[in-house]
Amino acid sequence: MLRGVSKYHGRGGPLNVTDLPSINQLTAAFIEAGVELGWSRNDDYDGASQDGFSTLQFTIRQGKRHSTADGYLHPAESRPNLTLWTETLATRVLFGYPVEVVRSCFAQEPWCMLYFIVALW
């Protein structure tokens, strides 16, 4: 279920954020137990308050996980100002000279004009 546009949520961006169409009975009982213990119910933890018990939101499009790579990286892969290295180990992040990497068993210090993005997982 998609949320409408509000102060805290937009629509039509590169990521498809959604609530689940139904809630598992055990999840609902867990939320109710939290409320009975004095915690608030929070129907939107990305809204005005992050406190309380809530169900999670997901990035799902057409029944499949919609990752940040799907929303941001893959559409930009053909840009001439983007170089993407996979299977590359960042060994140091240096201030003044951005990054040292090991790629194909050789240490390299790539150069760029503005930004490096180092993603870890």
Q: Which residue has the tokens 């608030």?
A: 40
List pLDDT tens digits, range 53-77.
999 888 888 889 999 889 988 999 8
Domain ranges in the chain?
A: 17-76, 83-121
Give the model's pLDDT for residue 20.
82
Q: Tell me how far apart the alpha carbons of residues 119 and 43 are, in angstroms, rounded to a whole number.
A: 31
**pTM for this prediction:** 0.59
Dihedral of CA atoms 59, 65, 68, 69 in degrees, nearest 10, equals -160
Listed as ranges, residues in the chain with pLDDT below 50 are: 113
Edge-to-edge strand list for the sheet holding 99-103:
89-93, 99-103, 106-108
